[in-house]
Amino acid sequence: MLDRQDILAVCPDIPVLVGEPMRRHTSFAIGGPADLMALPNSPAALAALLTLARRRETPVLLMGNGTNLLVSDRGVRGLVIKTHSGLSGLRRSGECEIVAGCGALLSELASAAARWGLSGLAFAHGIPGTVGGAVYMNAGAYGGEMSHVVRRTSYAGTTGQFGVLTGPAHEFSYRRSFFTGHRGAFALEITLTLTPGDPEAIRAETEALDERRRTSQPLALPSAGSVFKRPPDGHAAPLIEACGLKGARVGGATVSDKHAGFIVNNGGATCDDVRRLIEQIQERVRAETGVQLEPEIGLVGDFGAGGAARGGER
Ligand SMILES: Cc1cc2nc3c(=O)[nH]c(=O)nc-3n(C[C@H](O)[C@H](O)[C@H](O)COP(=O)(O)OP(=O)(O)OC[C@H]3O[C@@H](n4cnc5c(N)ncnc54)[C@H](O)[C@@H]3O)c2cc1C
């Protein structure tokens, strides 16, 4: 198993944290200690970390901004690599392209696009994750999704090779991509193709979508966004609401009164509270409507012997 000195020997100038509480790095504010957490500051440092971990057979959890993760109360064994904010570079390339580091926030990317008069990312401004995390699960909102704008992605593969995906090789579909099918492959740099537009009109569209989000989502409380994927016909939130589950609570975890698709942390919620509430929702919705809800959030970390994660696990 790696230790801090092993990492500093190959990447001397990056932050390496020992026993770092994951709740400080997740939008749910939930999660026990990571054995080791490294924050690379360049693609070369990220590549060196991945190579070192592979050579030393150390498990890696790569995270962006931790906004779609539910982390075990026992924490994460091995190495957590966090890409935000050390890998957040953004640059314009040619007339209509932007090249983004995997750790850049979607809000920063969308704001830069508006400044440069490039349209196509208003949908993404209010999604609190990184570009890499958004490519991973083909994040989307209000009719837009990453598949509409991502053209090319350089990546580190599962066996240590580096490669490039273009167009259909991303295998995008609803909340899926090449990366959900190849766990252990990581997006490094992403090229997006946009269309020319008027900066003021782009800003107005962005503000209108952000306002829709503010009025419909419980943004003041810690959460990981929508807990469940859309079922084949319709949305999860109306089903949950129709089953009378708004306000349902386990420990510090509550089904939001504002948006039944969100579970919020009302203070002191544990991973276990959220998992039990998810199970209660799934059971009730299945019993009353016959629909099996599938988690969208990723359950990660150490669940001990016999404590295997269920649903949405990484
Ligand atoms: C208030 C709120 C609102 C939200 N609204 C939306 C919404 O409208 N639409 C939507 O789609 N999502 C939404 N989300 C969920 C979340 O923001 C997105 O899923 C986002 O794309 C996750 O990015 P992240 O960087 O936080 O990923 P993380 O949570 O850090 O990681 C999620 C998964 O992505 C993987 N990953 C991260 N970076 C990479 C990489 N570079 N290469 C390969 N895999 C990687 C991780 O290993 C992990 O499996 C919302 C969340 C919150 C809290």
Residue 307 — pLDDT band, cuts 50, 70, 90?
low
CATH number of 90-207: 3.30.465.10
Identify the three-state secondary structure at position 162: strand
Segment 278-302 mean pLDDT: 97
Ligand 1 binding pocket (C-beta < 6 A) is 27, 62-69, 83, 102, 127-130, 132-134, 136-137, 139-141, 179, 186-187, 217, 219, 223-225, 298, 314
Instruction: With CA atoms as reference, report the closest residue to 213 among 106, 120, 123.
Output: 123
Q: Determine whether domain 4-82 maps to CATH 3.30.43.10.
A: yes
Q: How far is the CA of 19 from the centre of ligand 1 (A)?
A: 23
CA atoms within 13 A on the CB side of 220: 4
Residue 261 in contact with residue 223, Cβ under 8 Å? no
Distance of CA 259 to the CA centre of its chain: 20
pLDDT of amino acid 294: 97
The closest residue, in CA terms, to atom 17 on ligand 1 is: 129
Please, is 105 exposed, middle or buried when counting C-beta atoms within 10 Å of its C-beta (0-12, 13-18, 19+)?
Answer: buried
Q: What is the DSSP string of 92-128?
A: EETTTEEEEETTSBHHHHHHHHHHTTEES-GGGTT--
**Mutate-to-test residue for ligand 1 from 30, 50, 61, 63, highest number of ligand atoms within 8 A of CB:** 63
Q: How far is the CA of 128 from the centre of ligand 1 (A)?
A: 8
Q: Is the model's pTM score more than 0.85?
A: yes
User: From the alpha carbon of 68, which atom of ligand 1 is closest?
Assistant: 29
* Common-topology check for domains 90-207 and 218-300: no
Q: Which CATH number fits domain 218-300: 1.10.760.10, 3.40.50.2300, 3.90.78.10, 2.60.40.10?
A: 3.90.78.10
Residue 101 in contact with residue 87, Cβ under 8 Å? yes
pLDDT of amino acid 158: 83
User: From the alpha carbon of 63, which atom of ligand 1 is closest?
Assistant: 30
pLDDT of amino acid 160: 80
Segment 162-181 mean pLDDT: 97
Has residue 28 got a pLDDT over 90? yes
Q: How far is the CA of 133 from the centre of ligand 1 (A)?
A: 4
Q: How far is the CA of 313 from the centre of ligand 1 (A)?
A: 14
Has residue 306 got a pLDDT over 80? no
DSSP 8-state class, residue 16? E
* Angle between helices 106-115 and 199-216 in degrees, nearest 10: 150
pLDDT tens-digit profile of 54-96? 999 999 999 999 999 999 999 999 999 999 999 999 999 989 9
Instruction: With CA atoms as reference, report the closest residue to 266 among 84, 2, 19, 28.
Output: 28
Residue 305 — pLDDT band, cuts 50, 70, 90?
confident
Write down the H helix ranges in the chain.
4-10, 43-55, 106-115, 131-136, 178-181, 199-216, 236-242, 271-289
pLDDT tens-digit profile of 183-213? 999 999 999 999 999 999 999 999 999 999 9
Per-residue burial over 290-302, b = 16 or more CB atoms within 10 Å of its CB, e = otherwise: ebebebbbbbbbb
* Separation CA 263–CA 157 (nearest Å): 33
Segment 288-302 mean pLDDT: 97
> Can you give the residue ranges of every domain in the chain?
4-82, 90-207, 218-300
User: From the alpha carbon of 82, which atom of ligand 1 is closest?
Assistant: 30
Q: How far is the CA of 5 from the centre of ligand 1 (A)?
A: 30
- What is the set of active-site residues? 175, 226, 296
pLDDT of amino acid 309: 47
pLDDT tens-digit profile of 233-276? 899 999 999 999 999 999 999 999 999 999 999 999 999 999 99
User: From the alpha carbon of 175, which atom of ligand 1 is closest?
Assistant: 11
